[in-house]
Amino acid sequence: MSNSNSNNAERTSWFRTAFPKIILLLPYIALLWIPFYNDVKPALFGFPFFYWYQFLWVPLTSLIILIAYKVGK
């Protein structure tokens, strides 16, 4: 029975330490891999994909930081 509690504690500890670090890598990967979004189409409201994709990551990164903060707290 105590073994089960120990496993749950280890999982919770991993989740609180590793998960925030992993999700904080998402914006870096998504924005530093330029060949992925180096294109004009599809355009959104007249903005080429290259620009609106980067602008989209501004609120997404804020949300990811909030999630990482709440989980790691």
Residue-wise DSSP of 24-60: HHHHHHHHH-GGGT---PSPBTTB-HHHHHHHHHHHH
- Pick from 41, 25, 24: which is nearest to 33 by CA? 25
* pTM strictly above 0.95: no
Mean pLDDT of 34-53: 88
The whole-angstrom separation of Cα 3 and Cα 16 is 20
pLDDT value at position 13? 78
pLDDT over threshold 90, residue 3: no
- Summarize pLDDT for 10-29 with one digit per residue, the tens: 667 777 888 898 999 999 99
What's the whole-number average pLDDT of the chain? 85
